[in-house]
Amino acid sequence: MASASRDFLAPGELAAICEAARFPADIADALSEAAEAVRGDGELAEAAVRFRRELFEDANRPPDDVNRELLAYGADGALLAAVVYAGAIPLLAERYAARGLPQEVLVDTVHDLVIWMRAHLRRHGRRGLSELGWLHQHLRGELFRLGRLQFHFVASPFPVNAFRHRTTGDVAVLSEGGVRYRSDGQLDGTCGLFDAAGGWESAYAFDGAHYEGHPVSALGSADRKTVRLGADEWELALQKGDPVLNVHVPEGERLSPEACRDSYARAAAFAAAHFPGNPYRAFVCDSWLLAPAFRTLLPESSNIVRFQRDYHLLPVLSNESQALERVFGYGTTLADLPSAKAETSLQRIVRDHLAAGGRIHNAGGFRLA
Compute the distance between CA of residue 351 and CA of residue 327 in angstroms, rounded to an integer. 10
Q: Compute the residue count for the chain.
A: 369
Compute the distance between CA of residue 247 and CA of residue 30 in angstroms, rounded to an integer. 30
For the stretch 314-350, pLDDT in tens is: 999 999 999 999 999 999 999 999 888 899 999 999 9
- What is the pLDDT at residue 59? 82
- What is the pLDDT at residue 288? 97
Angle at 263 between CA 257 and CA 268, to 5 degrees: 130
Res. 83: pLDDT tops 80: yes
291-to-150, 191, 226, 261 alpha-carbon distances in Å:
19, 12, 25, 20
Compute the distance between CA of residue 152 and CA of residue 312 in angstroms, rounded to an integer. 19
- What is the pLDDT at residue 274? 96
Q: What sign for the dihedral angle of Cα 92, 96, 97, 99?
A: positive
Res. 5: pLDDT tops 60: no
Amino acid code (one letter) for 185 = G
- Name which of 200, 209, 202, 207 is nearest 174 in CA terms: 202
Q: Say if residues 128 and 82 touch (Cβ distance below 8 Å).
A: yes
For the stretch 135-194, pLDDT in tens is: 999 999 999 999 999 999 999 999 999 999 999 999 999 999 999 999 999 999 999 999
CA contacts within 13 A on the Cβ side of 312: 23
- What is the pLDDT at residue 22? 97
Stated as kind and residue range, the H or E segment containing 364 is strand 363-368
Task: Give pairs for 302-309: CB < 8 Å, separation 24+.
Answer: 303/254, 303/255, 303/256, 303/257, 304/255, 304/346, 306/256, 306/257, 307/249, 307/255, 307/257, 307/260, 308/365
For the stretch 197-215, pLDDT in tens is: 999 999 999 999 999 999 9
For the stretch 273-292, pLDDT in tens is: 999 998 999 999 999 999 99
